[in-house]
Amino acid sequence: MTEKAILDRSVSESAVDRQQQLVVAVVYVAVVFMAVLDTTIVNVALPTIAREYRVNADDVSMVSIAYLVSLTVFIPVSGWWGDWIGGRRALLAAVGMFTIASALCGLSANLDHLVAFRVLQGIGGAVMTPVGLAMLFRVYPPSERVRISSVLAMFTALAPASGPILGGLFTSYVSWRLVFFINVPIGMAVFAYGAIALANHRPAHPGRLNVVSLALSGLGLGATMYGVSEGPSRGWSSLSILFAIVVGIAALALMVVVELRAPNPLVDLRLLRNRLFAATTGVYGFGSAAYIGALFLASVFFQDALEISAAQSGFLTLPSALGVMAGGQIVTRILYSRIGPRRIAVSGLVLVFLMMMTMAQVTGDTSVWRISMVMFGLGLGVSFAFIAAQGASMATLGKAAIGRASSIFNAGKQLGGAIGVATFSTILAAQGHVHQLVGSEKLDLKGYHIGFIAAGFMALVGVAVAITISDGDAVDTMRQRR
């Protein structure tokens, strides 16, 4: 082969690689938006669903819990599944399942059907997000991961911020069924585009499925997530909640023992020996606990205490998404290559802490402008932490480990968000969060303020983890292409 032919072939392969980077990025952004949006948009519609199906509030909460439990249970198997059949087929199958399940949810005739279809949604969401992240990090070199992470963080933050707005608008003015149907056109478009444009990703053949680990992880994560999600409403002293948590923790502990001895582990916990991956996963988990939990708490605070509508509450949290967008530009264009991920993640989580301390001072007399600025600061701080953590997370891992690593990374994020929501729900329940007028018409906001302080301290725990990030380990991600 001549030198010119070799050069032409190299240019052609480079063009194909660039095209696949764009395709994978578009598909992944869409699936992340769908998956994250689905965790928040439904909550606003639950009271209306309860009235239509003539069930009580405790029963209808299973619509959210079924999705979260299913999502968490099936995340661990996603890495193995993607490696076994190939990223393209695994991703398209998951998108197809999620889309069909969304349509079935919208068509549900009763609560039992809706809960069952939410389980199917959770399976699709559990697979498509980590498999998509693994594909993304395989086609993007470390030097470009920070730039693409800023785009991902924007949609990760936009979805939970816009969920209450869309849910409120759909439920108030059209039908609660639209909160599920909204996924259908997006999912169909993503599936069609991915089927045409995504390149085949050769399966890695990771070995036989570890059925024992799958059973233990499913039982452990499912029982723990159920206990954490239902604990605030049923009471932490409830025998069913205590039993679920004890069984869940015991199963997870046994799974750790099994996995560390297995030649082909389902969840490769040995990856957590990698200090950069362990630290960034911890930052993402604690950051998610503070952020997702704070958005939940703020939504309840605005509607129950300040007595504004669901749609208005959503618009009041929207500045957090604008903060994420602004933060993404600052991190990727100015800070990351100059100072590295450690100081960015630390400063971002410190900012989250300060914003939560400010929210703990908000009263019924606080101006909307001030609250909006706090929400903007929350998004700015979260974007610093998330982009730094995600961009650096797999810098020292080989491509063969990325599939398993992405499932652990996403599981940490999901568990963090669930723990944050459960913690703040418990605080509100303990304090009696239904607003009261006291004396001179001052609102009793103690429970909300304690919740915001707790969110701030979750961010401080994240700071302690972020300090352990080594910029030296992440040096390849700091050499960004211009």
For 208-256, write each residue's pLDDT tens digit: 777 888 888 888 878 887 787 777 767 778 888 899 889 989 998 998 8
Q: What percent of the chain has pLDDT over 90?
A: 24
The pLDDT score that the predictor gives to residue 453 is 93
Q: Whose structure tokens read 């405790």? A: 58
Instruction: Round the average pLDDT of the chain to a whole number and report it.
Output: 81
R_g (Cα) of the chain, nearest Å:
22
pLDDT at 197 over 70: yes
Of the ranges 44-53, 98-107, 248-257, the best mean pLDDT one: 98-107
**Half-sphere exposure (Cβ direction) of 16: Cα atoms closer than 13 Å:** 9
Q: What is the pLDDT of residue 343?
A: 95
3-209+266-478 placed in CATH 1.20.1250.20: yes
* pLDDT at residue 146 greater than cutoff 60: yes
Whether pLDDT at 195 is above 50: yes
Using DSSP, state whether 207 is helix, strand or coil: coil
pLDDT at 191 over 90: yes
Token pair of 64 as six digits: 């959210």
Average pLDDT of the segment spanning 192-205: 79
Identify which of 449, 456, 429, 438 has the alpha carbon closest to the alpha carbon of residue 363: 449
Domain boundaries, the chain: 3-209+266-478, 210-265
CA distances from 452 to 72, 297, 355, 445 (A): 25, 8, 9, 11
Q: What is residue 83's predicted lDDT score, i.e. its pLDDT? A: 77
- 438 Rama class: left (phi>0) / alpha (psi -120 to 50) / beta: beta
Residues pairing with 443 in the sheet: 437
Tell me the HSE value of 436 on the side-chain side, using a 13 A CA sphere.
9
* Residue 271 identity (one-letter amino acid): L
Task: Write out the DSSP string of 266-335.
Answer: SS-GGGGGSHHHHHHHHHHHHHHHHHHHHHHHHHHIIIIIS---HHHHHHHHHHHHHHHHHHHHHIIIII
Q: Which residue has the higher pLDDT, 31 or 83?
A: 31
Six token digits for residue 177:
């069924």
In this structure, the strands spanning 437-438 and 442-443 are antiparallel
Q: In which band, very low, low, confident or very high, does the pLDDT at 186 lie, cut at 50, 70 and 90?
A: very high
The dihedral region occupied by 405, where left means phi > 0, alpha psi between -120 and 50, and beta the remainder, is alpha
pLDDT band for position 130 (50/70/90)? confident
Give the separation between CA 389 and CA 271, rounded to whole angstroms: 16
pLDDT of 40 higher than 80: no
Tell me the percentage of the chain whose pLDDT exceeds 70: 87
